[in-house]
Amino acid sequence: MSGRRGVVLAIGILLTAMAGCASSLGRYESRAQRIAHGRLGSRPTIAGSAEISGTSEALAPEVRRLLAGPLSSDDVVRIALANNRDLVAAFGELGVSRAALLAAAVPSGPALEEAAVRFATDGHGDPAFELGVMQDLTDLVLLPAARAAADAEAEAATLSAARAALDVAFDARRAYVAYVASEQDLARAREVLEGAEAAALAARALHEAGNVPAVDAQTEEAFAEDVRASMWRARDAVLVARERLNVLMGLTGRATRWTSPTSLGGPPGDAQDRARTAHLPHRAVDRSLDLAVSRLRILAAARRLRLRRAETLVPEIAVGVSVAREDEHWSVGPALSLELPFFGPRTGEWASARAELARLRAGHVALGVRVESAARATSARLAGTRERAVHARDVLVPLRRAIVGERLREYNAMQIGVFALLDAQRAYVEAERRATAELRDYWLARVDLEQLAAGRLPDEAGAASGVESAGEGPARGGH
């Protein structure tokens, strides 16, 4: 009966430890989510690890509600944070770090050593036994140092999970801008194609009537086909951009039938942008989660270096009990094991830890330079793209629209031919396509600036204007 009680007690202790581990993991995730909420300025639902959030692929009610209507940029971010399974995997890394921390907090257990059985060569007498059980004392002495290094790594993992949430949020916002801009550009490309097909049809009719040479009709037809290829590229860009959003939002099947607005809003007031870029380099460095993670990893490496140094100086000491039986007599006594560290492999481990610390420190300085430089470059990019977007909207497009109106009056007065009117119309639509591209580049720069201000360095690929535009149609000669 006492044996059963011991088994029950052992199982109870094990379950209590497992519950404590899961609870601690939940606290780590909650801290990472709170950090992300603070940087995002809102409190959207953020997917946790599989242990905490479950493994069901069913959409949450909030996600289904958002998908029922046209998606705004904020809606896309909320869906991505709640439903992106890569983010679940990123939060799962917290469990790995937590397990390493728990392992560092537990000393090694007793080891069975010197177990031997010896038989008499003449076949007479009972076999002799020798058994030793040893406990490593050096692990107990160095346990606080190992725990301190693992604790810094666990905190770095917590901040890395928060970084992953920021990446998902801003990648989703960036992909949304690219998608809506591509839809808007496709609509303009189709307008250009309609005009080019009308011009080609008119040229063919004039050629058949003997009013223009064949080469003029062929030129218009070739231009229309070039425009058609440009429209196809714009259509393909829409498909790619939409699938990018589907991946970030974690959507499959019927859930991918969402809708969104078909145009981007204009830039806000200039004063708002100036306020956002004021002192951005200082704020980006001060709030950088990348630098915070780097500092924690340097701290962990420094603690590991001290641990390795101690291991090269402190001998491996183990104490225990040795039991022997020989000639029908049992003997019991203390046992001691001592391994001098001076010529062991841990000297090399110490040198490796020192080199790793130097590498991390150099990388930290380089990262700080990149963050500050990215903040200055993004501020300049935001100002430049804003200037071009406002110029296209307020100057270029109205001017091309006025030209179309003037050409239409001249055509109605039979002062110009149909080709001159179509040329003006095409130039107007191309100006609108250029305005869309400039507006897209502005909003992409704005997302990068917000990401820097939130404490995350944008990916270098995302920091460029980023999305190839179909807005530059084929060149066309006039008549």
Give the model confidence (pLDDT) of 253-302 as tens digits. Answer: 999 999 998 888 888 887 888 888 888 999 999 999 999 999 999 999 99
pLDDT at residue 241 greater than cutoff 80: yes
For residues 260 and 115, what is the distance between their CA atoms, to the nearest angstrom? Answer: 73
* Residue of higher predicted confidence among 1 and 73: 73
List pLDDT tens digits, range 330-348. 777 776 666 666 555 566 7
Instruction: Give the DSSP letter of residue 255.
Output: G
Domain spanning 12-463 has what CATH number?
A: 1.20.1600.10
Q: What are phi and psi of 131, to 5 degrees?
A: -145, 135
Label residues 202-241 b or e (16+ Cβ within 10 Å = b).
bbbebbeeeebeeebbebbbebbebbeebbeebeebbeeb
Sheet holding 111-118, edge to edge: 111-118, 128-136, 316-326, 329-339
Note the pLDDT of residue 464.
46
Helices of type H across 106-136: none
Identify the residue whose tokens are 């953020």. Answer: 46
Task: Give the chain's largest Cα–Cα span.
Answer: 131
The pTM of the full predicted model, rounded to 2 decimals, is 0.79
Express each pLDDT in 356-403 by its tens digit: 999 999 999 999 999 999 999 999 999 999 999 999 999 999 999 999
Query: What pLDDT score was predicted for residue 22?
Result: 41
pLDDT tens digits for 436-473?
999 999 999 999 999 999 999 998 644 444 444 445 55
- State the angle between helix axes of 289-313 and 346-391 in degrees (0 to 180), rounded to the nearest 10: 170
- pLDDT over threshold 60, residue 128: yes
Q: Retrieve residue 458's tokens.
A: 């944008």
Going by pLDDT thresholds of 50, 70 and 90, the confidence category of residue 413 is: confident
Q: What is the mean pLDDT of the chain?
A: 80
CB atoms under 10 Å from CB of 262, counted, come to 11
Tracing tokens 């039979």 back to the chain, one arrives at 414
